[in-house]
Structure 1
Amino acid sequence: MASASLVPLILLILVQLAYAWMNITSKLSILGGMNPLILVAYRQIFGAVSIAPFAYWIERDKVPRMTKRIMVQILLSSLTGVTGSQILYFIGLKYSTPIIACALTNLDTAFTFVLAILFRQENLGIKKKSGVAKVVGTVLCIGGAVVLSFYHAKVIDVPESRVHWSYAEKLEHGHLNFSAAQSTSLLGPVLLILNALVWSLWFIIQADMSKNFPVPYTSTAYMCILGSIQCVFIALCFDHSVSAWSLHDAMRLASSLHSGVICTGISFPIISWTIGRKGPLYVSVFTPLQLILTAFISWAFIQEKLYVGTAIGSLLIVGGLYAFLWGKSKEVDNNKVDHDEAIVMTLPPPIKKDEVNKNDMELQSYMHEFPKP
């Protein structure tokens, strides 16, 4: 039993490792000359092909009737969660570093909270500790993003890694520095912040769509298919040369397959499976681990420099995220207590001892109708 309880933990660590590695390989592919738009297109194509079998196998008998409303929601989801956010992310990655890109993705939670309040899907609850924690966490996340974007300061003196990756060294010697120009550019962080905002908008759309179309694998497959069409069209508008779409380079092929098959086709079912057993908060706690893994891999394999501003901003964002998650956890616990109290208030009056045997079966039947808290 103990080993079985470790399965979700191990799987989520592997998922975060997969996303961290995606940041590195994608950055190397882009530095090697691959157009970010084409990389996004390939990711969606491979993602659609890999997620479709899961959708058919798991949900083929559960898909509700398609309506115009659902079709519009799927289209909006593909435009925000796939096309818009991914294009902004990979172009932002081109003009920044993997560490910065990874840190700014943690803004999703803060932006989703703000948008949820604006769309009246979330209550501020500032009079409760949970509400204060969520507000403080949001402010810390946004403050960390500002520090990370505008303040760099000195390079932190970290000993160089003894790992030598010939592919990365070749790019660096070809005057493509991983940290110099990219980390001082404001364009990258701005695009990555916009990516987090667009991705948060996708969460709002998904919250509504999941009520009418509660089949996550099928909706993801549809999103990837539509996203593939949209991304291929956009990429062709900017670069329609055959050589630009070639995957003859090993890193281009590896990054495209890894981001599409591993980070979409395999990671999504793992995350969905873990949410079903441990809940969304358990999964969210592992998100900052991606930043730690990305920082370590960047240092070990591509000799990325770490700036004081980047470290401070990242710590603020991660601290804000955990403050928000703590507040959300307290809110869930409070709602559970309120729910239990409401059930107690609706229970029938105590039964007298001489009536116990008479009404025993009736009482058991009555209690059985109450849902588990």
Structure 2
Amino acid sequence: MNDVRKLVQDLKPVFLMVSVQIAYSSVNVLYKLAINDGMSIRVVTAYRLMFAVVFTSSLALIFERKSRPKLTWRVLFMSFFSGLFGASLFHNLFLEALDLVSATFATAVYNLVPAVTFILAILCGMEKLNVRTAAGKAKVMGTIIGIGGSMLLTFFKGQEINVKSFGTNLLQKNEQVVALHTDSGKKFLGVLCGFGSCFSFALWLIIQSKMSKEYPSHHSSTALMSLMAAIQATAFALYVEKDWSQWKLGSSIRILTVAYTAIVASGLVVIVIAWCVRMRGPMFVSVFNPLMLVLVAVADSLMFGENLYVGSVMGAMLIVGGLYMVLWGKSKEMKKANLSVSSEINQEHEATEVVVMSTTINDDNCDRVNNTDANCKSNIVAKVS
């Protein structure tokens, strides 16, 4: 019985991370259905972030009401850009790519975030190439392979893989609209939006690393970011969308999309990821990211009748392979850094023990009246050696 409980505890983070990827895949499906229902992308983003503010603020009040650090103008400034690049701009660009191209493409490009973050970190002086080490070579090669895979995914189709016969097309009502999108050349705009969302999220990770040091309260910083993002997204939606009927959550799919993305994707999933990071580390969490690409690709083909090509599969595989190479290189560097920190701590402890021993010898011998200074020094040296 104890062995079964231990096995369940060991597999618990795995099950939770698989559930996280299923939840994120469901978000993409709901987004597609809401957009097909006629809901504006800008309004979806604004509602999601407004609901997220309520949820994250509640968590901050419950868990960090008394331990919250002082709020400064610098923190507010970073919160503004965190909300811009990590939420409002990112979600708008991501949904535009999902609408104009496909959910598979938007998800595949999202897996480029570690590679793009690595490039930005080098430019900001936060990372070093270290091409002489195996870890450095893996990160550079993984970045190149990932970018090459994205190019293949974008520009090469190849033979079509027919899996649509096993599913149904939930977007049949708007097939003419989808065709118009493709015929009018808006697919290229969707590709640019996809890469823009990737760049935006990578830039948010750089800013967030700075903010977490100045304001080390996870729930409060997330609530601040959500608040800034909600203000930005709502202002943008009000400026772009002149039709007030877009703000009505009349259909059940719109209500479900807004509630699910805000509470589950922006709330519960964040808590689960934070728990898994604490239990198994960030590298364990990152390993499960490509699973969402597989789930979205299957759902895209079976539920929405999207074409699946050999080039798309090959490009996605290269992106995933590049992702794992970057993660492997980063994990090697983290292990090396942890070992160096441990050795430094051990050296400090040894030095402290020598100092304590020397002080003890000095107290034992030099307090004696008959001992001279020379005798004291010779006794200390002899005993320490």
Aligned equivalent of 2:26, options 21, 46, 59: 21
Q: Is the 8 A contact 2:36 2:171 kept in 1?
A: no
Displacement after TM superposition at 1:106 (Å)? 0.6
Answer with 1 or 2: which has the greater Rg: 2
Report which stretch shifted further, 257-266 or 199-208: 257-266
Structure 2 equivalent of residue 330 of structure 1: 332
Instruction: Write the mapping of 1:254-333 to structure 2, written as runs, cut at 5 A.
Output: 254-333=256-335
Amino acid at match of 1:220: T
Amino acid at match of 1:55: A
Structure 1 residues 225 and 345, CA gap change in structure 2 (3 angstroms): closer
Q: Is the 8 A contact 1:95 1:183 kept in 2?
A: no
DSSP 3-state at the match of 1:240:
coil
Please give the alpha-carbon distance, in whole angstroms, between the structure 2 residues aligned to 1:245 and 1:222. 24
Runs (5+) with no aligned partner, structure 1: 360-373
Instruction: Write the mapping of 1:1-373 to structure 2, written as runs, cut at 5 A.
Output: 1-158=6-163, 160-162=165-167, 164=168, 168-171=170-173, 176=178, 185-348=187-350
Q: How many residues align?
A: 352
DSSP 3-state at the match of 1:214:
coil
Please give the alpha-carbon distance, in whole angstroms, between the structure 1 residues aligned to 2:69 and 2:339. 34
Displacement after TM superposition at 1:159 (Å)? 5.8
Displacement after TM superposition at 1:31 (Å)? 2.3
Displacement after TM superposition at 1:203 (Å)? 0.5
Q: Is the 8 A contact 1:153 1:309 kept in 2?
A: yes
Q: Is the 8 A contact 2:164 2:301 kept in 1?
A: no
Amino acid at match of 1:146: M
DSSP 3-state at the match of 1:224:
helix
> CA-to-partner distance for each residue in 1:31-83, whole Å, 9 max, x for gaps?
22211111111110111122222222122222100111111111111111111
Please give the alpha-carbon distance, in whole angstroms, between the structure 1 residues aligned to 2:39 and 2:111. 26
Structure 2 equivalent of residue 368 of structure 1: none
Please give the alpha-carbon distance, in whole angstroms, between the structure 2 residues aligned to 1:327 and 1:65. 37
Q: Is the 8 A contact 2:150 2:319 kept in 1?
A: yes
Please give the alpha-carbon distance, in whole angstroms, between the structure 1 residues aligned to 2:309 and 2:164. 14
Q: Is the 8 A contact 1:17 1:290 kept in 2?
A: yes
Please give the alpha-carbon distance, in whole angstroms, between the structure 1 residues aligned to 2:239 and 2:295. 35
Displacement after TM superposition at 1:160 (Å)? 1.8
Amino acid at match of 2:239: C
Amino acid at match of 2:285: V
Runs (5+) with no aligned partner, structure 2: 1-5, 362-385
DSSP 3-state at the match of 2:158:
coil
Amino acid at match of 1:131: G
> CA-to-partner distance for each residue in 1:291-346, whole Å, 9 max, x for gaps?
11111222332232211221111111100000111111111122222233334444
Structure 1 residues 48 and 181, CA gap change in structure 2 (3 angstroms): farther
Report which stretch shifted further, 48-57 or 152-161: 152-161
Please give the alpha-carbon distance, in whole angstroms, between the structure 1 residues aligned to 2:56 and 2:73. 24
Structure 1 residues 315 and 14, CA gap change in structure 2 (3 angstroms): same
Amino acid at match of 2:86: G
Structure 1 residues 226 and 304, CA gap change in structure 2 (3 angstroms): same
Amino acid at match of 1:185: K
Amino acid at match of 2:194: L
Displacement after TM superposition at 1:347 (Å)? 4.7
Q: Is the 8 A contact 1:179 1:305 kept in 2?
A: no
Please give the alpha-carbon distance, in whole angstroms, between the structure 1 residues aligned to 2:337 and 2:256. 46
Amino acid at match of 2:150: A
Q: Is the 8 A contact 2:100 2:190 kept in 1?
A: yes
Structure 1 residues 182 and 22, CA gap change in structure 2 (3 angstroms): farther
> CA-to-partner distance for each residue in 1:77-115, whole Å, 9 max, x for gaps?
111111111111111111111111110001110111111
Q: Is the 8 A contact 1:147 1:309 kept in 2?
A: yes
Amino acid at match of 2:75: I
Displacement after TM superposition at 1:242 (Å)? 2.0
Aligned residues with identical type, % of pairs? 32
Q: Is the 8 A contact 1:45 1:225 kept in 2?
A: yes
